[in-house]
Structures are given as structure tokens and as C-alpha cells.
């Protein structure tokens, strides 16, 4: 009669294997979520193309985002600004017709925010623009995007990296951004 | 073993998928919720997102005329503060002023012109265009004018001042009608009349509480609701703590403790309506103890003879030694002020009482000196509103005209007579005789609900206007009201409506009122101030002056009035000073309590009830929110077996209302008090069907002298009903319950 511990081992092995498989599944699931279902490039209510406006028609950023060099927020153009051109340009385009519907109903277009920093961060466009930073340094090559995609993490290490590299005065001071 | 059994395989698959699912969910949970980036449809031209723009304008929640600074962001008003440039409130603001935002963004504002479709009062309206509304009204007005029936057009507004008032007056004059009245329940008719009797002019002087050493207030709740409470609160602070070790004394004489009573050094009650008698008693002591040495001593001595302390003590219920002590204190602590208001205003002898109170100032020599009564100089433009204020008797004349079909069109603006008149006036019934009732209002109040045509107006935060504060501040000032945001709804400013009507009607109206926009009209009117008054800077043109006035929100002149010496009143005047006993509606045996309705710091006369911030603000004396209540003395309650929350039936000869009891120690046992302001049947979701309106049981008693409504002269009886409700209040228990909160030795007297 031989004594075997195999059966006994088996009872330990199986849960271990199951948890390892579960963990791998968890990681795969997470990676799929942040890559495939990423919120870096949300589908907007109107298929607005920056490429079309900036690259093809050479409209500068500040033409629409008029407050970027003046106030903390860059500003999204009012519906009236869009209609300023699109009353006559490409009026037959289905996306422009969506725009016209908003305008007729006098409703704002519910754009989905792509770039957002938490409320406890004091961020101002004005300082960055006036410091001579190109919009693309944070926002990426928006001029080539049909749908805006977030390319920077906008997380604190990313901010501090840049502040360090550019030797920003008080750039690593807590109070600079958290006030 | 190397073979995986089917069962294990399934287990692994299961584990894998659960893990992947959890991973997905975890990934999702770390993401931010979707935030929208909403652009404005048509952004205002002069704004910068994220940066606040402040506009100075005027608060119009009550008649005090405080200056306000409104913080706007992205073209929306966010917060109202006091304008620190403005001499009335000097940067401070009361709760009603703060709640102006609630009026601007109120969801129950009238959003477009309305035409009545069903029976009057059925609340069935259909929306019409501004064109249709103005054409309808304009042609009706025009027809009357052509038929020379312009005098059958009546205009009834709230206490509007400044050039909007003048605009109304010009319009009505050009229409051929002199039927332009103001109706404001809170207007101190008796005070104006008493001032006319003693000082010879119908104006409220500047009560210099700042520098007074003694304030003897007969019911005037100057920290709460009396004519310019924010200014007086500031002055009170100065009187108490602003002058080093010198600290003025405040005595409050009233049947129910108001906020001012609670802040006074001494709170004294006398029988309701006998404040004037008490003032005469004090005058008697002053005269007899040599406190007055003027040349008209003998006449005064004669006038006060019937009011010896022992007689007055019997009439008022105040002890003789208190009367003498108060009189001596008042004489000794000069400069002092005697002021009257609140329930003293609401009795049948109000004018006489306030005249007697004025006499105290005269006798103590407080006129025209710091710490006393300072007379306001001529305002930059005349304040005609006082003359237009219709008191109860004049309102009855209007109502008679309405009943007798003498009123073809009644225009109502910013006043709510259906709510603020006792039902005995029969205003609603008289409306049957009016073919066209037009309401120019921002809200669907009780009067507007009965209208045939509703032209919605801007709130004061959207419209142009101007004002001369009343009471003034001792030197001439005027302030401008400017729009701080674009109109929220499809409304128009009252000025623009009147100007549009003038052009619609034609004839001499567009000649008298050539402007199309209120802003231009105001600018032209202010050119007069610019030309006639001391210019700020002689080299600056009018446009610079206008801009500067808009930016600071107020214009003023460094000019005081030469002190007027009242050496002598005529003998005739002195002889006329006589205070009679008050009379009350209802027999004392059947109706044992005097009902004291009082204005609150939140609803005022009821106009604030539709603002949710004010509804949820606890009453400062009782801490009650959202409702109506009946204040009665715990002794009275004990005797009648009433405890807090018992619903009482309050019955007068004019009607019955029901409200829960609240035991309030600081009230005479022979009176009960109720706040005014609730009990709206219309006026939006926040005001509707909440509490009761004590105005509905007021008997139509009027003042003996000027015929104003004596709103504190109704007797009531109270009956406990079976019903009981829990009063909503923020207070727990009003007693210390032996907890020694104040400590044993910390209270010094």
C-alpha cells in the first residue's frame, strides 16, 4: 500500500491555478478597458474635424478658442460662432445640419470633455500660452485629428516633468497648482 | 493529472472570465465620469470665461434703495453683495437682497406675454407674441384716448421712484389721466403725516442713530424691517461699538419683541396702541422737570397737562416710576432719538402717536444736530412717489370707481392688492366692473392671476432704472440700476413697454416720450444732473460722467443742508398735539386678543415668499421656516391649555384663519402676533399653499387722521382645534434646562 500526497496537493494546486488564471484575466480585462474602451477619444455629438479646420483651412487655434491667451479657460466657441461660417459653408453636410438644428433650437452643443484636470488643480491656459508654449505640446497634433484624442496623461508627474525640464520658476512648488 | 478534467476546464474558464470582467469594471471605475463642455449659444461680447465681472446696480427688494454689486461669470449672475460705494448700505446687504438671484432665475417667472382664455381667475392663459400684446393694449388705450376717455385708464404700481416713476407720470398725463397711484402696504403713511405736522414737510429725515446716545424706539424695528434696516443696522453697530467706550443705550417699547427689541438694553411693553400716550407721558415729565426751556413752554405745558404719569400709567400699563425714569434718561443722555414705527404705525391713533413721538425730539432739542434728526437736502430729482402713495381710504375710492364702471383699463405693476388689501375692501369683487385688467409683472401673483392681459417684465437685475433712496442719507445722492445679465426669458423692461405703448398709441404721446429705449431716456434725464449739479470733474464730458456713475453705481454731492432751526412751532400746532385712546374692531369680551400682524425680514409684505432661499431662512426670533404660526404668551397658552403645534382657529369679525400655535415668551399675554407674507394662492411653486395670510382677517379699521389702514387694530379670539402639527424650526428648546449655558457669574447687569 503506497501513500500518495498527490490528491492532497491537488486540493491546493487547483485554487492556486484558478486564482492565477483569474488574475491574468483581470489584467487582460483592465488593459482592454483602458486601450479599447479608452476615454481619451470620446465620440462627440457632432463629428467635428480639427484636421479639416486647422490643416486644410488654416484657421489658427485662437480664432475659435479666443480666451486661451486671456483667461484660465481656453473657451469653446459659441454656437453662434460656428454658424457665422456655416450659414453658407457646407450647409448640406449632415454634420453641419446637426449643428444647424442646435442653432435653431438655441441649444448648446453638448461636447464631451477630452482634456480635464481635477477641481483641486489650478490650471490656467493664459500663463501657458503667454509663456510661448505651443498648444500641441500638451494637446498633441490636434491639427491632424479628425476626432480629438488625449495624448498626454494630464496627471501630476507629467506636469512636474515638464515644469522641471523647462525650469519653470516655482514650477515645483505645491502652491503653484494647488491653491 | 496532466489531463485537465472537463470540470476543471470549466472552472478555469469561469475564473478567467470573472477576472476579465472585474478588470474591465475596475478600469471603468478609475475613469472620470463624462463631463460636458457646454458652449453658450450666443456668448455675451464682453466676458471672459472664469473671470468674474462685477456690476453695480440697485436692490429693489424693498424700498430702502441699497446699492448692490452683482458678480457675474460667463454672462450669468452668481452672487449679490452690497455696494461698498453706496452710502445707504456701505457694502452690507440683507437676506432679501441676497435672494435677488432667486427672483432672476425663478422657474416660475412669466416667460412670455399671456392672454386670458377662460373665465377670469381660472388661471387659463395662452401665450401670445409681444407684438400682439402691445398692439392689443395699445389700440385699447388709443381708442380711449381718441374718445377722450383717457381718464378711465388707471395705473397702480408699487412704490417706484426715480425716472421710471416720472416715465409713468408723463405717460399717464399724456393719456389724459391723473389716475396714477402707488400702493405699497409697507409705506409708512403715519410717519410722513406726523413729519408734515411737526416739521412742515412730508419727508423722512435722516435719523442719525450713528451718533445718538439714546434711542427710544416706539415699535420701530429698525434692525429688521423699518424703512432702511441695513443702514440702521450699520448705524446701530456704530452706536454700540464704534465710539470707544461711549456706548449708546437702546430702549424698545413694543407689545411683541422684534429683532430690535431683542437687541435693545431694555424692552418695555405697553398696552397695544398706547405708545403715543406713553410718549405724551414722557413729554409731561420732561416739561415738569424743567427739561425744556423754549419760549413756547407755556403752550407745551398746556398740551401735556392731561398726560400726567399717573394717568398715562393707567392708560398704558407702564408703571409711573418707569415713565419718569425713561423721561429723565432721555433728557440726560443727549443727543437722543425718539422714533416710532412697527405696530405704532398700525393703530387708529397712529398719526397722533407719531406726532407725539416727534414732539419728544422737539422738546429734547434733537432737531438738526448729529445724533438727532437731520433733515435731508433737496434730492437731485424730486421724489414724487410719496404723494402718489394711495392709503387704504384712497384705495377704497379706486375700488368704488372700479365698481361703478369708471375704470376701463387698470394697469397693475409690481404691487399685489389682492394679497395686500383686507378682503373687506372688496377689490376682487370690484374687478367685475373693469373690462380690461393688465398686469405688468414678473410673477404670477394673486392680482396677475386675475388679469386679462399679462405683459411680463424684467426683474430689476435685467432692467434700467434709477433711484433716490428714501430715507436719504443727509446729502443728495442718486443711483442707477443697470442690467447685469441678458434677459433670461422673453420679457421686457417696464420702461421699454411704456415707451413702446406710447409709440403705438401715437398722438402727443411719442412727442412727450420720444425715446424708444429706457437707457436713452435715462441718459437724457441724467444729463440734467450733470449740467445742474456740481460736476465731478469739469473737464469730463457727459459720457465720462455717465460711465463713472455706472461704475460706482451711485452719484453723490458733498453738500449738507443748513440746519433748520425749529425755534417755535405755532401755538395752534402745539395745541393740536393730542393722542386719543386707540380703538379696535371687535368687542373685547368676544375677541379678547389684539392681533398683531408683522412684517418679516424674509417675506416683507409677502413679496419675498416665492424665493426659496427666503422660505428656508429661519425667522430670527422664532427660528421657524416655511410656514405661518400664531405667537402667544406661554401664560395665555397655559390658561387655554394650548401647547406648541396645536392648530388654532383665529377669528375676527372679518374672518377666520387656522395656524399652529407657537409659545413666545416675549409677547404681552393680551395680544397674539402673526407674520405677514405666507398664504399665497398663486405666486409660484415656492409660495403657493403654504401658511396663511393674516391680512384676510383684518377688519377695515383706519387711522383717525389720514385714513390709512390700521392693520394692528383688529381683535381676535382663538380656539384650539383637534388638529396638531409639528412646527418646522431650527431651535431645539428655548430654555437652558439648568445647563448653565451662560454660566452663573458671567452675566452682569
A79, B32: Cβ pair inside 8 Å? Answer: no
Q: What is the least distance, in Å, from the CA of A80 to any CA of chain B? A: 5
Of the partner residues A22, A39, A71, the one whose CB lies closest to the CB of residue B19: A22
B16 contact A CB<8A? yes
Set of chain A residues whose Cβ sits within 8 Å of the Cβ of B8: 14
φ/ψ of residue B45, rounded to 5:
-75, -40
pLDDT of residue B749: 43
pLDDT of residue A22: 87
Set of chain B residues whose Cβ sits within 8 Å of the Cβ of A37: 24, 27-28
| Section B236-256 average pLDDT | 93
List the single best residue of B9, B18, B27, B42 to mutate versus A (max A Cβ within 10 A): B27
pLDDT of residue B26: 86
**A9: exposed, middle or buried (C-beta count within 10 Å: 0-12, 13-18, 19+)?**
exposed
Q: How far apart are CA B126 and CA B135, in angstroms?
A: 16
Of the partner residues A29, A31, A73, the one whose CB lies closest to the CB of residue B49: A73
Set of chain A residues whose Cβ sits within 8 Å of the Cβ of B34: 39, 42, 112-113
Q: What is the dihedral of CA A58, A64, A66, A72, to 10 degrees?
A: -110
Say if CB B24 and CB A26 are below 8 A apart: no
How large a percentage of chain B has pLDDT more than 70? 96
pLDDT of residue A8: 59
B28, A22: Cβ pair inside 8 Å? Answer: no
pLDDT of residue B562: 60
Set of chain B residues whose Cβ sits within 8 Å of the Cβ of A80: 41-43
Q: How far apart are CA B123 and CA B117, in angstroms?
A: 9
State which fold the B593-724 domain adopts: Barwin-like endoglucanases (2.40.40)
Q: How far apart are CA B246 and CA B235, in angstroms?
A: 14
**Chain B residue whose CA is closest to A28:** B20
SS3 per-residue string spanning B556-610? ECCCCCCCCCCCCCCHHHHHHCCCCCCCCECCCCCCCEEEEEECECCCECCCCCC
pLDDT of residue B566: 57
**B494: exposed, middle or buried (C-beta count within 10 Å: 0-12, 13-18, 19+)?**
buried
pLDDT of residue B564: 59
List the single best residue of B41, B74, B488, B490 to mutate versus A (max A Cβ within 10 A): B41
Helix (H) or strand (E) holding B138: helix B130-146
Q: How far apart are CA B447 and CA B169, in angstroms?
A: 22
Of the partner residues A6, A27, A67, the one whose CB lies closest to the CB of residue B23: A27
Mean pLDDT by 10 residues, chain A (179 residues): 61 79 88 80 91 92 91 89 91 92 92 90 93 93 92 92 92 90
Check pLDDT > 50 for residue B747. Answer: no
Relative orientation angle of helices B162-175 and B494-505, to the nearest 10 degrees: 20
- Per-domain residue ranges of chain A: 1-37, 50-76+111-177
ipTM: 0.80
Q: How far apart are CA B203 and CA B191, in angstroms?
A: 9
A15 contact B CB<8A? no
Set of chain A residues whose Cβ sits within 8 Å of the Cβ of B38: 108-111
**Is the N-terminal amide bond of B471 cis, ω within 30° of 0?**
yes
B5 contact A CB<8A? no
Q: How far apart are CA B416 and CA B420, in angstroms?
A: 6
Q: How confident is the model at residue B138 (pLDDT cuts 50, 70, 90)?
A: very high
Check pLDDT > 70 for residue B560. Answer: no
For residue B504, give the C-alpha cell: 403705438
Check pLDDT > 60 for residue B469. Answer: yes
Q: What is the least distance, in Å, from the CA of A59 to any CA of chain B? A: 19
List the single best residue of B4, B11, B19 to mutate versus A (max A Cβ within 10 A): B19
For residue B684, give the C-alpha cell: 409660484
B495-550 pLDDT, tens digit per residue, is 999 999 999 998 889 999 999 999 999 999 998 888 877 655 666 788 888 998 99
Q: What is the least distance, in Å, from the CA of A163 to any CA of chain B? A: 24
| Section B235-253 average pLDDT | 93
Of the partner residues A28, A108, A111, the one whose CB lies closest to the CB of residue B41: A108
The reported pTM is 0.85
Q: How far apart are CA B725 and CA B732, in angstroms?
A: 16
**Chain B residue whose CA is closest to A84:** B42
- Per-domain residue ranges of chain B: 53-105+471-491, 114-184+389-457+493-533, 189-374, 593-724
B407-457 pLDDT, tens digit per residue, is 999 999 999 999 999 999 999 999 999 999 999 999 999 999 999 999 999
List the single best residue of A19, A22, A76 to mutate versus B (max B Cβ within 10 A): A22
A116 contact B CB<8A? yes
Residues 118-177 of A with CB under 8 A from B: none
Instruction: Mention every residue, 6+ apart, whose C-beta is less than 8 A from residue B237.
Output: none
- Work out whether the CA dihedral B379, B381, B387, B390 comes out positive or negative: negative
**Chain A residue whose CA is closest to B4:** A14
State which fold the B114-184+389-457+493-533 domain adopts: Rossmann fold (3.40.50)
Q: How far apart are CA A111 and CA A89, in angstroms?
A: 21
pLDDT of residue B156: 96
B40 contact A CB<8A? yes
> Among the CATH numbers 3.30.430.20, 2.20.25.90, 3.40.800.10, 3.30.360.10, which is that of B53-105+471-491?
2.20.25.90
- Pick from B156, B158, B162, B161: nearest CA to B181: B156
pLDDT of residue B565: 55
Set of chain A residues whose Cβ sits within 8 Å of the Cβ of B23: 25-33
Check pLDDT > 70 for residue B563. Answer: no
Say if CB B200 and CB B320 are below 8 A apart: no
**Chain B residue whose CA is closest to A123:** B50
pLDDT mean across residues, chain B: 91
**Chain B residue whose CA is closest to A21:** B16
| Section B701-714 average pLDDT | 92
A27 contact B CB<8A? yes
DSSP string, B629-648: -EEE-HHHHHHHT--TTEEE
Q: How far apart are CA B413 and CA B588, in angstroms?
A: 39
Q: Among B82-91, B214-223, B374-383, B689-698, whose mean pLDDT is lowest?
A: B374-383
State which fold the B189-374 domain adopts: Dimethylsulfoxide Reductase; domain 2 (3.40.228)
Burial call B314-344: b when 16+ CB within 10 Å, e when fewer? ebbbbebebbbebbebbbebbbbbbbbbbbb
A107-134 pLDDT, tens digit per residue, is 999 999 999 888 899 999 999 999 999 9
Q: How far apart are CA A55 and CA A57, in angstroms?
A: 6
pLDDT of residue B378: 80
A14 contact B CB<8A? yes
A6 contact B CB<8A? yes
| Section B196-208 average pLDDT | 87
Q: What is the least distance, in Å, from the CA of B12 to any CA of chain A? A: 6
Of the partner residues A23, A33, A80, the one whose CB lies closest to the CB of residue B24: A33
List the single best residue of B6, B40, B52 to mutate versus A (max A Cβ within 10 A): B40
pLDDT of residue A161: 93
Set of chain B residues whose Cβ sits within 8 Å of the Cβ of A113: 34-37
Set of chain B residues whose Cβ sits within 8 Å of the Cβ of A75: 49
A103, B41: Cβ pair inside 8 Å? Answer: yes
Check pLDDT > 60 for residue B629. Answer: yes
Check pLDDT > 90 for residue B360. Answer: yes
How large a percentage of chain B has pLDDT more than 90? 73
pLDDT of residue B15: 87
pLDDT of residue B615: 95
Q: What is the least distance, in Å, from the CA of A104 to any CA of chain B? A: 10
pLDDT of residue B748: 46
B18, A32: Cβ pair inside 8 Å? Answer: no
Check pLDDT > 80 for residue B568. Answer: no
Q: How far apart are CA B504 and CA B501, in angstroms?
A: 5
B40-68 pLDDT, tens digit per residue, is 888 877 778 878 899 999 999 999 999 99
φ/ψ of residue B123, rounded to 5:
65, 30
List the single best residue of A11, A17, A30 to mutate versus B (max B Cβ within 10 A): A30
B743 contact A CB<8A? no
Size of interface A-B (CB pairs under 8 A): 127
B23 contact A CB<8A? yes
Amino acid at each position: 500500500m503506497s501513500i500518495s500526497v498527490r490528491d492532497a496537493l491537488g486540493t491546493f494546486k487547483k485554487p492556486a491555478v484558478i486564482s492565477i488564471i483569474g488574475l491574468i484575466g483581470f489584467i487582460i480585462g483592465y488593459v482592454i478597458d483602458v486601450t479599447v474602451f479608452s476615454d481619451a477619444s470620446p465620440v462627440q455629438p457632432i463629428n467635428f474635424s480639427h484636421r479639416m479646420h486647422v490643416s486644410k483651412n488654416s484657421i489658427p487655434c485662437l480664432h475659435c478658442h479666443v480666451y486661451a491667451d486671456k483667461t484660465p479657460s481656453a473657451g469653446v466657441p459659441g454656437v453662434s460662432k460656428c454658424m457665422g461660417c456655416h450659414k453658407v459653408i457646407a450647409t448640406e453636410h449632415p454634420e453641419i445640419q446637426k449643428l444647424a438644428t442646435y442653432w435653431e433650437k438655441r441649444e448648446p452643443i453638448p461636447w464631451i470633455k477630452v482634456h480635464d484636470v481635477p477641481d483641486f488643480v489650478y490650471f490656467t491656459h493664459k500663463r501657458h500660452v503667454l509663456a510661448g508654449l505651443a498648444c500641441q505640446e500638451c494637446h498633441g497634433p490636434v491639427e491632424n485629428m479628425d476626432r480629438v484624442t488625449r495624448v498626454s496623461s494630464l496627471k501630476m508627474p507629467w506636469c512636474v516633468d515638464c515644469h522641471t525640464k523647462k525650469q519653470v520658476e516655482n514650477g515645483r512648488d505645491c502652491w503653484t497648482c494647488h491653491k | 493529472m496532466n489531463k485537465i478534467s472537463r470540470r476543471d476546464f470549466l472552472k478555469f474558464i469561469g475564473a478567467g472570465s470573472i477576472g476579465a470582467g472585474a478588470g474591465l469594471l475596475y478600469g471603468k471605475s478609475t475613469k472620470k465620469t463624462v463631463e460636458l463642455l457646454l458652449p453658450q449659444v450666443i456668448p455675451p461680447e464682453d466676458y471672459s470665461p472664469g473671470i468674474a465681472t462685477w456690476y453695480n446696480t440697485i436692490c429693489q427688494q424693498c424700498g430702502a434703495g441699497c446699492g448692490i454689486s452683482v458678480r457675474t461669470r460667463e454672462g450669468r449672475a452668481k452672487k449679490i453683495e452690497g455696494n461698498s460705494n453706496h452710502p445707504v448700505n456701505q457694502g452690507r446687504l440683507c437676506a432679501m437682497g441676497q435672494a435677488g438671484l432667486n427672483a432672476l432665475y425663478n422657474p416660475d417667472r412669466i416667460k412670455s406675454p399671456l392672454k386670458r382664455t377662460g373665465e377670469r381667475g381660472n388661471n387659463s392663459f395662452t401665450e401670445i407674441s409681444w407684438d400682439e400684446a402691445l398692439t392689443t393694449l395699445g389700440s385699447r388705450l388709443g381708442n380711449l384716448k381718441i374718445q377722450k376717455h383717457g381718464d378711465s385708464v388707471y395705473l397702480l404700481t408699487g412704490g417706484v421712484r426715480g425716472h421710471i416713476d416720472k416715465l409713468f407720470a408723463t405717460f399717464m398725463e399724456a393719456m389724459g389721466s391723473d389716475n396714477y397711484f402707488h400702493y405699497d402696504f409697507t409705506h409708512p403713511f403715519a410717519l410722513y403725516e406726523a413729519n408734515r405736522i411737526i416739521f412742515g414737510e412730508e419727508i423722512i429725515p435722516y435719523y442719525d442713530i450713528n451718533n445718538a446716545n439714546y434711542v427710544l424706539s416706539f415699535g420701530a424695528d429698525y434692525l429688521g424691517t423699518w424703512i432702511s434696516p441695513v443702514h440702521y443696522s450699520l448705524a446701530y453697530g456704530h452706536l454700540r461699538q464704534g465710539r470707544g467706550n461711549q456706548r449708546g443705550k437702546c430702549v424698545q417699547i413694543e407689545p411683541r419683541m422684534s429683532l430690535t427689541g431683542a437687541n435693545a438694553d431694555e424692552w418695555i411693553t405697553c398696552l397695544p396702541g398706547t405708545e403715543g400716550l406713553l410718549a405724551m407721558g414722557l413729554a409731561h415729565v420732561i416739561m415738569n422737570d424743567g427739561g425744556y426751556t423754549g419760549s413756547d413752554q407755556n403752550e407745551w405745558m398746556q398740551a401735556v397737562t392731561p398726560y400726567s404719569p399717573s394717568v398715562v400709567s393707567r392708560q398704558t400699563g407702564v408703571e409711573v416710576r418707569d415713565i419718569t425714569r425713561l423721561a429723565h434718561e432721555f433728557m440726560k443722555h443727549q443727543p437722543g432719538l425718539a422714533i416710532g414705527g412697527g405696530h405704532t404705525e398700525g393703530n387708529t391713533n397712529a398719526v397722533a402717536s407719531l406726532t407725539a413721538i416727534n414732539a419728544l425730539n422737539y422738546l429734547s432739542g434733537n432737531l438738526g444736530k448729529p445724533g438727532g434728526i437731520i433733515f435731508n437736502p433737496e434730492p437731485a430729482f424730486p421724489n414724487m412717489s410719496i404723494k402718489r402713495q394711495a392709503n387704504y381710504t384712497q384705495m377704497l375710492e379706486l375700488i368704488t370707481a372700479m365698481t361703478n364702471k369708471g375704470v376701463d383699463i387698470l394697469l397693475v405693476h409690481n404691487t399685489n392688492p389682492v394679497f395686500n388689501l383686507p378682503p373687506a375692501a372688496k377689490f376682487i369683487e370690484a374687478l367685475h366692473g373693469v373690462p380690461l385688467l393688465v398686469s405688468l409683472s414678473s410673477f404670477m401673483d394673486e392680482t396677475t392671476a386675475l388679469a386679462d392681459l399679462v405683459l411680463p417684465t424684467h426683474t430689476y437685475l435685467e432692467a434700467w432704472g434709477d433711484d433716490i433712496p428714501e430715507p436719504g442719507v443727509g446729502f443728495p445722492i442718486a443711483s442707477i440700476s443697470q442690467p447685469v445679465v441678458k434677459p433670461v426669458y422673453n420679457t421686457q423692461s417696464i420702461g421699454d413697454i411704456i415707451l413702446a405703448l406710447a409709440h403705438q398709441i401715437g398722438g402727443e404721446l411719442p412727442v412727450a416720450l420720444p425715446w424708444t429705449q429706457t437707457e436713452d431716456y435715462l441718459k437724457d434725464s441724467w444729463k440734467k444732473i450733470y449740467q445742474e449739479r456740481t460736476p465731478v470733474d469739469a473737464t469730463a464730458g457727459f459720457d465720462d460722467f455717465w460711465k463713472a456713475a455706472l461704475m460706482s453705481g451711485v452719484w453723490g454731492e458733498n453738500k449738507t443742508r443748513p440746519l433748520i432751526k425749529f425755534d417755535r412751532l405755532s401755538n395752534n400746532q402745539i395745541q393740536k398735539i393730542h393722542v386719543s385712546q386707540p380703538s379696535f374692531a371687535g368687542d373685547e369680551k368676544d375677541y379678547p386678543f389684539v392681533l398683531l400682524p408683522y412684517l418679516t425680514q424674509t417675506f416683507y409684505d409677502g413679496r419675498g415668499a416665492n424665493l426659496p432661499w427666503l422660505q428656508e431662512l429661519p425667522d430670527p426670533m422664532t427660528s421657524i421656516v416655511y410656514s405661518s404660526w400664531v405667537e402667544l404668551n406661554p401664560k395665555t397658552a397655559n390658561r387655554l391649555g394650548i401647547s406648541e403645534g396645536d392648530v388654532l382657529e383665529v377669528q375676527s369679525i372679518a374672518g377666520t384663519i387656522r395656524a399652529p400655535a407657537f409659545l413666545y415668551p416675549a409677547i404681552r399675554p393680551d395680544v397674539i402676533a402673526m407674520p405677514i407674507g405666507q398664504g399665497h394662492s398663486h405666486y409660484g411653486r415656492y409660495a403657493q399653499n403654504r401658511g396663511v395670510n393674516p391680512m384676510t382677517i383684518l377688519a377695515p379699521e383706519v387711522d383717525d387722521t389720514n385714513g390709512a389702514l390700521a392693520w394692528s387694530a383688529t381683535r381676535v379670539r382663538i380656539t384650539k382645534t383637534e388638529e396638531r402639527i409639528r412646527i418646522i424650526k431650527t431651535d431645539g428648546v428655548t430654555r437652558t434646562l439648568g445647563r448653565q449655558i451662560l454660566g452663573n457669574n458671567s452675566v452682569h447687569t
